[in-house]
Amino acid sequence: MEQHSIHIQSRGRGTIAINSEIDQLIRKSGIDTGLCHIFIHHTSASLIITENADSDVRRDLENYFSKIVVDGDPAYFHDQEGPDDMSAHIRSILTQTEISIPISAGRLAMGTWQGIYLWEHRTSPHRRSLTVTLHG
Amino acid sequence: MEQHSIHIQSRGRGTIAINSEIDQLIRKSGIDTGLCHIFIHHTSASLIITENADSDVRRDLENYFSKIVVDGDPAYFHDQEGPDDMSAHIRSILTQTEISIPISAGRLAMGTWQGIYLWEHRTSPHRRSLTVTLHG
Amino acid sequence: MEQHSIHIQSRGRGTIAINSEIDQLIRKSGIDTGLCHIFIHHTSASLIITENADSDVRRDLENYFSKIVVDGDPAYFHDQEGPDDMSAHIRSILTQTEISIPISAGRLAMGTWQGIYLWEHRTSPHRRSLTVTLHG
């Protein structure tokens, strides 16, 4: 079992593919069969696995979440950091803070159309910390 | 640590209990105490753990998701495969692509009323691939 | 790999911090680097990781979920246990039944502002069972 810290710089709200960072760690580890666990150390950015072929999927996800989780809803009590503060926490809850993915034949065993994305929910850029734990 | 591929044929949108397939793999493995990880290799079908006693729960879940994730919403840009294309991706994001469950005394250690279900979100039948990783 | 059962008494709908229970198990285990898996054996209570500093975050989450998952919706077929029965199952599906968290330097490796909460979705108090699996 080995653990790595990685850092991803976001440019504000949106998704960032992180497959290549993870695959590189797996290749270096030499693990053939096992599991890869990814944990994000924040409550206003999260992780998703979704379609990687057509970027419209992530555009539609963004639009969908903007509709069901309203920024600056006057009902929010927690709004110190602006209209995207509480909505970012809700988006985080509706998606994932951590994901485990099988490692097979020395690489991430995902479907052809699956990509791993860090989803920044704040509108301003943030440096995000993740811990990747590999075991096999 | 051992890994198995399993395939589940869906009959279109709806839930399929997969506990027995998983329990069989655990029994064969001889693992007494550990974890079972289930990963679905798709972004338009997902995994849930929910009540297994009254099938109305899954009927209500289906109705609820149909209401909050509208098929064929004209706002979607991603619609090549029909009105259930983008909605299937959103339903997948709101549920789980992977689940870990404890193994205790050589079997899945779940609550009496908990069942594991593959949730097909497309309206047409699909053959779905899963990877099950057992470690203990 | 070791496994522990823990029990948490809820006082009805709301969140309960469980970090200290988990951290205590990790300290006793002597595991330095690894993973901690938490599984809740119920389908009407769930787990979340969210902001731990301002309790308004959890108040807003409660309000948000009450709005998007209506108690006593006449559309529900499953209502034997009252207006919070089906809504509790839906809230469980939209959040987490199980969570894995890295262990680093002998403790939970979480962000400064992250807390683990059991979220009781039923309005009446319940005794909730969890299985914690530590490996490293």
In tens, the pLDDT along A34-51 reads: 999 999 999 999 999 999
For C128-133, what is the mean pLDDT?
Answer: 98
Q: Which residues of C touch A86 (CB under 8 A)?
A: 57, 60
Q: What is the pLDDT of residue C110?
A: 97
Q: What percent of chain B has pLDDT over 70?
A: 100
Tell me if B68 sits within 8 A of C93, measured CB to CB.
Answer: no
Q: What is the pLDDT of residue A125?
A: 98
Q: For A111, which of B41, B69, B75 is closest by C-beta distance?
A: B41
Mean pLDDT, chain B, rounded, equals: 98
Q: What is the pLDDT of residue B44?
A: 98
Q: Which residues of B touch C90 (CB under 8 A)?
A: 60-61, 64
Placement of tokens 């069942």 in the chain: B115
According to the 3-state scheme, what is the secondary structure of A38-54? EEECCCCEEEEEEECCC
- CA C79 and chain centroid, separation: 23
For A47-67, what is the mean pLDDT?
Answer: 98
* Mutation target among C29, C65, C89, C122 for the B interface, most CBs of B within 10 A: C89
The ipTM assigned to this model is: 0.97
Mean pLDDT, chain C, rounded, equals: 98
Partner-chain contact A49 B135, CB within 8 Å: no
Please tell me the distance from the alpha carbon of residue C10 to that of residue B49, in angstroms, as a whole number. Answer: 21
* Mutation target among C133, C134, C135 for the B interface, most CBs of B within 10 A: C133
Q: Which residues of C touch A94 (CB under 8 A)?
A: 94
Interface of C with A in 3-32 (CB under 8 A): none
**Is B61 in the C-facing interface, judged by CB distances under 8 Å?**
yes
| Helix A56-68 vs helix B85-94: crossing angle, to nearest 10 | 60
In tens, the pLDDT along C56-81 reads: 999 999 999 999 999 999 999 999 99
Please give, rounded to a whole number of angstroms, the shortest distance from the CA of C39 to a CA of chain A.
14
Partner-chain contact B48 C93, CB within 8 Å: yes
Q: For B111, which of C42, C76, C89 is closest by C-beta distance?
A: C42
* Mutation target among C78, C94, C99 for the B interface, most CBs of B within 10 A: C78
Please give, rounded to a whole number of angstroms, the shortest distance from the CA of C65 to a CA of chain A.
9
Partner-chain contact C98 B94, CB within 8 Å: no
Partner-chain contact A99 B100, CB within 8 Å: no
Report residue C39's pLDDT band, with 50, 70 and 90 as the boundaries.
very high
Placement of tokens 């502002």 in the chain: C113
Q: What is the pLDDT of residue C132?
A: 98
Q: What is the pLDDT of residue B27?
A: 97
Mean pLDDT, chain A, rounded, equals: 98
Please tell me the distance from the alpha carbon of residue A104 to that of residue A80, in angstroms, as a whole number. Answer: 45
**Is A135 in the C-facing interface, judged by CB distances under 8 Å?**
yes
Tell me if C13 sits within 8 A of C122, measured CB to CB.
Answer: yes
Report residue B109's pLDDT band, with 50, 70 and 90 as the boundaries.
very high
In tens, the pLDDT along C72-117 reads: 999 999 999 999 999 999 999 999 999 999 999 999 999 999 999 9
Q: Which residues of C touch B48 (CB under 8 A)?
A: 93
Please tell me the distance from the alpha carbon of residue A68 to that of residue B70, in angstroms, as a whole number. Answer: 12
Q: Which residues of A touch C50 (CB under 8 A)?
A: 43, 89, 92-93
**Is B135 in the A-facing interface, judged by CB distances under 8 Å?**
yes
For A24-39, what is the mean pLDDT?
Answer: 98
> Phi then psi for A63, rounded to 5 degrees?
-65, -40
Report residue B90's pLDDT band, with 50, 70 and 90 as the boundaries.
very high
Partner-chain contact A98 C101, CB within 8 Å: yes
Partner-chain contact A1 C50, CB within 8 Å: no
In tens, the pLDDT along B25-73 reads: 999 999 999 999 999 999 999 999 999 999 999 999 999 999 999 999 9
